[in-house]
Structure 1
Amino acid sequence: MSNSMMDVTTKHATSSPPNKVDDKPVESPPQGRSRGVFGRTARLVLSSLGPTLVLIGFAAVFYYGHHHDWRIPKFAALTGPVETSVDDWCEEHAVPESICVECDPTLMPKGPDYGWCADHGVHNCTLDHPDVSQLKEPPSQKELVADLQRAVRAFEIAPRKENNSSCGIYKTRIQFASIEAVQQAGVDVELVERQSIVESIFGNGEIVYDPTRLASLASRVPGSVWSVSKNIGDPVSEGEVLAVIDAVEVGDLKTMLLRSLAEEKLQRQNVARLSQAGKSGAIAGSRILDAEAALAKAHADVLSAEQSLINLGLPVDVDRLRELSEKQVLNELRMLGIPESLRNQINLETATTNLLPILSPMNGIVVQRSVTPGEVVNPSRILFQVADTQQMWLQLSVPLENMDQLEVGQQIRFTPDGSRRVVEGKLDWVSTSVDKETRMVGVRAILANTDGKLRNETFGMGEIILREESDAIVIPTGSSHWEGCCQVVFVRDKNYFDSPDSYKVFHVRSVRLGAINGDVTEVLSGVLPGEVIATAGSDVLKAQLLKNNLGAGCDCVAE
């Protein structure tokens, strides 16, 4: 290129107006630098687009789960057209809303509502209104009358836990969607039945000897033991000799009686002689009077000695002794009180007159002996105890709160510790005081012991029978629930199995409970035999009941 051309070109280039921004010249960026800015911008857009798409995906999943009850769609729904379904689930009662009998009572109309029964303390009382029961056939009138009488007896004997009359929870029904739903919830059922029931008061007790048939024997005067005839466990009869005591005081009394008899005999003869002589006037009347006074004194001495011997348990026939010689009287007094069986062992010539027999006052058994021959004894020491064990006492301690339920004549059953034998008796005494330490009331019963198997100081558990019923209405223990103000059970609807489409409903029923006998509990009112109630798993129904009435309390009235 020529120099002229280069100059023109240069000139033309330099003569063009410069690029301006705000009247300032701007340099055009080079071509390589422009491509770098565009790349960074594209990468920035792509990096921010990823999290945005993730958030949009999460939102879509949440929206689908919320509107499809968080169920995974079936493969056909994902690959083909899906029809839009209406939400048919009752969250409150956990069943499809289209079959919810609580939300739509017209599906299963409720029966008559008789309200509160003041006599039996339940709502919709089945005893007064058996038509409310879930039975295909109502009970007979005879059965209802017997159940009513049984309830009256139970209410008279003891107070029962009361329900709240204002509670309307009995109007509630617990529904399941299907039989399978009931099984999955673990709910089991049992029939309300009839069974014998016993209501009792229990108390710890002890068998002891009947104190009115227990004799503690001692020597009535000091002395030494001459002989012992009986040992522990020996049966004895009334009047039988247990031991013989050699007591000097006894010998003195016998001697006194012997002298008194001799003096009385002498004075009687003297009075007779003087009286005969007085008839002729040879004897002064004063001497006769003195003789009669001496005779009276001798007679009094005889009576005194006789009474002293009787007080020692030595009865003496004074009239008979008056007819005997002094030798015979002495032999008779020496063996006074000694039975014939023992007299054969005694030498009358050498035997002492000090012998005092200890006799059994009753038929029984020697239960204690604390004496041996030769021992010195006195009236303060017990030598023998004799008990009539044909009859024993049972002493029980019962709580003070059961005091009003006790009556003389009630039957008592006693089970000794370590034994399966049950002993029966009758309550015959209730203490008028309360133990100041234990606050228990003492009661007593008489026990027959004809076989002799009961033992003194045997501990065990006593049961005072308040009431026995042979055909009581019972349910399994634990199948009823206290829901806050009422004791309730869940009764299965009588049409539960009528058809596959029948409503799977349990009715809430308030009940009054009676005695508990192990695995069964008596129901005084609220259900009838033949009804079916929830047992195992009934806590599930209680939970649903509390959920349905949450916050309502006892004032809730289910519509």
Structure 2
Amino acid sequence: MFSITLRVVRSALGIVPTLLTLAALGGVAWWGTQTGWRVSSTTAPTATAPEAPPIKVTPGSPDNPTLRGTITFGSTDDVRRAGLQFVRAGTQALTRSVQATASVGYDPALYTQLSARAAGTVWWVQKVPGQPVAKGEVLALIEAVEVGRAKTDLMIALRQLDKQVTVLDQLRESGGAIAGRTLLEAQAAVDDARLRVATDQQALLNYGLDVRYQDLLPLTVENRLARLQFLGLPPEALELIRGKTQSASLLPVVAPFAGAMVRRTTARGETVAIGKSLFVVAATDRVHLELALNPADVREVRLGQEVRFTPEADPDFEARGVLAHMVPEVDETTRKIWAHAEADNPGGRLKPNAFGRGRVIVAEVPMATVVPEEAVQPDGSEWVVFVRDGETAFQARRVRPGLRGGGVVQVDGVAPDEEVVTTGSHALLAELQRDKLGGGED
């Protein structure tokens, strides 16, 4: 009994989908007869897009190769609805440059380490790093025994020369009573004495002490001593030692050019050896700019081109110099090519050993006619700019882009103060190209 009931239920369930399908088809048929098969909408009708403003494209003339064509709108309202924006062409200086990492260095010709030319003891020193120095200024006085000995040797040699000259003069005054051989020997003795004087003079010159023995010959021994005692000391140094010493062994260390003391490594009373660095002096009103150039950029770089440098610590300052020389090889470590420029440094604003960004100006136009970059549109292998011609017309002019910078580009074929299309220029180009394909108005 139970199995019979189960089979009846299964049969009834099997025909349910068929009954539902027939009911649905019947409902649709009833709805169609009632509505005439028309669907009513409860939503708002879709808005119709506004028609594009009427545009006329006039092709350019072969007589005017610059003019690619002219686009004319129907009215000023059409121009406004097209959303075009305009900017006047201007003029400004433009450059193209090669970029490089750079640093500031001293001018090698005006940078020196000063040392004593003779061993001795520092008798006086005063200048400290950062202070200016004048050309010829005494920076230190070294008491050097060898200097005193060299002065004594010269005095002795002069005295010997005096003696030999006197003997020769006396023999000559004797007339024919003296044999010729004796005169020759006396003349040889004078020559030997003069050579000794010249040798001792050269020893003092090697210490940087300027002396001419011819100036000393007419003087008495006392005056010679006075002249040699403080030889080489300028008046300001004489004021320093007046009444403090009678030493004839003082050797000045003198600044060879004007600049500033960069470093000092000695103190009063210190014993110094020959060649020991005592001071570093450098000129700071002129510096070198060291640039690390990429080898691929060097082909445009030439000596004499302007170099501009901005220090990292002073980004609002730009120094200018001239490219002086360039190393003819690629650095093995940095894989760069080193170039050197010379720049004036008034006020010392550029600090040696500072880093920054440098650039070599490889092209420059002082008064370029410029337009915004977005105003220049590519047209195949050419470039065009749309120039306003009246209220509703725009000339598509062929141009040659030049230097770029700061969002503007140099162009020819456009005069300063002419209005060019920026926003919307791409749409005008599309109209121009569509007309070229035969799809626009004639």
TM-score band w.r.t. shorter chain: 0.7 to 0.9
Measured at CA, do residues 294 and 464 of structure 1 come closer, stay the same or move farther in structure 2, by a change above 3 Å?
A: same
Measured at CA, do residues 46 and 392 of structure 1 come closer, stay the same or move farther in structure 2, by a change above 3 Å?
A: closer
Kindly indicate whether the alpha-carbon contact (under 8 Å) linking 2:385 and 2:399 is maintained by their aligned counterparts in 1: no
**What does 1:222-301 correspond to in 2, within 5 Å?**
222-277=119-174, 279-281=175-177, 283-301=178-196
Q: What is the alpha-carbon distance in structure 2 between the residues aligned to residue 329 and residue 64 of structure 1?
A: 135
**What does 1:23-62 correspond to in 2, within 5 Å?**
47-48=21-22, 50=24
Q: 3-state SS of the aligned residue for 2:360?
A: strand
Per-residue CA deviation, residues 272-325 of structure 1 (Å, 9 max, x unaligned), is: 222333x242x3332322222111111100001111211211011312322223
**What does 1:315-326 correspond to in 2, within 5 Å?**
315-326=210-221
Q: What is the alpha-carbon distance in structure 1 between the residues aligned to residue 421 and residue 44 of structure 2?
A: 43
The RMSD of aligned alpha carbons is: 4.6
Q: Which amino acid aligns with 2:251?
A: L
1:534 aligns with 2:423: yes
1:371 corresponds, among 252, 266, 286, to: 266
Per-residue CA deviation, residues 12-67 of structure 1 (Å, 9 max, x unaligned), is: xxxxxxxxxxxxxxxxxxxxxxxxxxxx9999577336259769x99xxxx999xx
Kindly indicate whether the alpha-carbon contact (under 8 Å) linking 1:413 and 1:463 is maintained by their aligned counterparts in 2: yes
Q: What is the alpha-carbon distance in structure 2 between the residues aligned to residue 496 and residue 412 of structure 1?
A: 46
Q: Which amino acid aligns with 1:515?
A: L
2:60 corresponds, among 102, 112, 137, to: 112
Larger deviation, residues 289-298 vs 193-202: 193-202
Kindly indicate whether the alpha-carbon contact (under 8 Å) linking 2:96 and 2:404 is maintained by their aligned counterparts in 1: no
How many residue pairs get matched?
408
Kindly indicate whether the alpha-carbon contact (under 8 Å) linking 2:404 and 2:410 is maintained by their aligned counterparts in 1: no
Q: What is the alpha-carbon distance in structure 2 between the residues aligned to residue 424 and residue 344 of structure 1?
A: 43
TM-score (norm 2): 0.74
1:522 aligns with 2:401: no
- Offset of 1:196 from its aligned partner? 1.4
TM-score (norm 1): 0.60
Kindly indicate whether the alpha-carbon contact (under 8 Å) linking 1:197 and 1:522 is maintained by their aligned counterparts in 2: no
Q: 3-state SS of the aligned residue for 1:456?
A: coil
Per-residue CA deviation, residues 120-167 of structure 1 (Å, 9 max, x unaligned), is: xxxx9x8x423635599xxxxxxxxxxxxxxxxxxxxxxxxxxxxxxx
Indicate the residue corresponding to 1:432 in structure 2: 328
1:422 corresponds, among 311, 318, 325, to: 318
**What does 1:376-525 correspond to in 2, within 5 Å?**
376-419=271-314, 420-465=316-361, 466-476=363-373, 491=386, 512-518=400-406, 520-524=407-411
**What does 1:187-206 correspond to in 2, within 5 Å?**
189-191=85-87, 193-201=89-97, 202-206=99-103
Indicate the residue corresponding to 1:502 in structure 2: none
**What does 1:99-138 correspond to in 2, within 5 Å?**
108=56, 110-112=58-60, 128-130=65-67, 132=69
Q: Which runs of 5+ in 2 are unaligned?
A: 1-13
Q: What is the alpha-carbon distance in structure 1 between the residues aligned to residue 104 and residue 419 of structure 2?
A: 44
Q: Which amino acid aligns with 1:558?
A: L
The alignment-based identity, stated in percent, is 26
Measured at CA, do residues 45 and 345 of structure 1 come closer, stay the same or move farther in structure 2, by a change above 3 Å?
A: closer
Q: Which amino acid aligns with 1:522?
A: V
Q: Which amino acid aligns with 1:259?
A: I
Q: 3-state SS of the aligned residue for 2:369?
A: strand
Q: 3-state SS of the aligned residue for 1:531?
A: strand
Q: 3-state SS of the aligned residue for 2:347?
A: coil
Q: 3-state SS of the aligned residue for 1:432?
A: coil
Per-residue CA deviation, residues 348-406 of structure 1 (Å, 9 max, x unaligned), is: 89633322111121222222221111222223322122223332222323333332333
Q: Which amino acid aligns with 1:266?
A: K
Kindly indicate whether the alpha-carbon contact (under 8 Å) linking 2:369 and 2:412 is maintained by their aligned counterparts in 1: no
Q: What is the alpha-carbon distance in structure 1 between the residues aligned to residue 161 and residue 306 of structure 2?
A: 63
Q: What is the alpha-carbon distance in structure 1 between the residues aligned to residue 138 and residue 387 of structure 2?
A: 77
4+ residue runs over 6 A deviation? 40-43, 52-55, 71-76, 178-181, 487-490, 492-496, 506-511
Q: Which amino acid aligns with 1:47?
A: T
Q: Which runs of 5+ in 1 are unaligned?
A: 1-39, 66-70, 77-88, 102-106, 115-123, 137-177, 499-505, 550-556
Q: 3-state SS of the aligned residue for 2:328?
A: strand
Measured at CA, do residues 379 and 468 of structure 1 come closer, stay the same or move farther in structure 2, by a change above 3 Å?
A: farther
Q: What is the alpha-carbon distance in structure 1 between the residues aligned to residue 257 and residue 17 of structure 2?
A: 122
Kindly indicate whether the alpha-carbon contact (under 8 Å) linking 1:414 and 1:422 is maintained by their aligned counterparts in 2: yes
Indicate the residue corresponding to 1:215 in structure 2: 112
Kindly indicate whether the alpha-carbon contact (under 8 Å) linking 2:127 and 2:139 is maintained by their aligned counterparts in 1: yes
Q: 3-state SS of the aligned residue for 1:412?
A: strand
Indicate the residue corresponding to 1:31 in structure 2: none
Indicate the residue corresponding to 1:357 in structure 2: 252
- Offset of 1:204 from its aligned partner? 2.6
Q: What is the alpha-carbon distance in structure 1 between the residues aligned to residue 227 and residue 251 of structure 2?
A: 14
Q: What is the alpha-carbon distance in structure 2 between the residues aligned to residue 197 and residue 353 of structure 1?
A: 65
- Offset of 1:260 from its aligned partner? 0.6
Measured at CA, do residues 516 and 42 of structure 1 come closer, stay the same or move farther in structure 2, by a change above 3 Å?
A: closer
Q: What is the alpha-carbon distance in structure 2 between the residues aligned to residue 129 and residue 344 of structure 1?
A: 81
Measured at CA, do residues 95 and 370 of structure 1 come closer, stay the same or move farther in structure 2, by a change above 3 Å?
A: same
Kindly indicate whether the alpha-carbon contact (under 8 Å) linking 1:490 and 1:534 is maintained by their aligned counterparts in 2: no
- Offset of 1:219 from its aligned partner? 1.0
Measured at CA, do residues 250 and 535 of structure 1 come closer, stay the same or move farther in structure 2, by a change above 3 Å?
A: farther
Per-residue CA deviation, residues 216-264 of structure 1 (Å, 9 max, x unaligned), is: 2111222221211433233333222111112222122112111110111
Kindly indicate whether the alpha-carbon contact (under 8 Å) linking 2:71 and 2:428 is maintained by their aligned counterparts in 1: no
Measured at CA, do residues 441 and 508 of structure 1 come closer, stay the same or move farther in structure 2, by a change above 3 Å?
A: farther
Q: What is the alpha-carbon distance in structure 2 between the residues aligned to residue 53 and residue 494 of structure 1?
A: 68
Q: Which amino acid aligns with 1:310?
A: L
Kindly indicate whether the alpha-carbon contact (under 8 Å) linking 1:134 and 1:493 is maintained by their aligned counterparts in 2: no
Measured at CA, do residues 486 and 261 of structure 1 come closer, stay the same or move farther in structure 2, by a change above 3 Å?
A: same
Measured at CA, do residues 74 and 415 of structure 1 come closer, stay the same or move farther in structure 2, by a change above 3 Å?
A: closer
- Offset of 1:437 from its aligned partner? 4.0
Kindly indicate whether the alpha-carbon contact (under 8 Å) linking 1:397 and 1:441 is maintained by their aligned counterparts in 2: yes
Kindly indicate whether the alpha-carbon contact (under 8 Å) linking 1:223 and 1:245 is maintained by their aligned counterparts in 2: yes
Q: Which amino acid aligns with 2:24?
A: G
- Offset of 1:495 from its aligned partner? 9.1
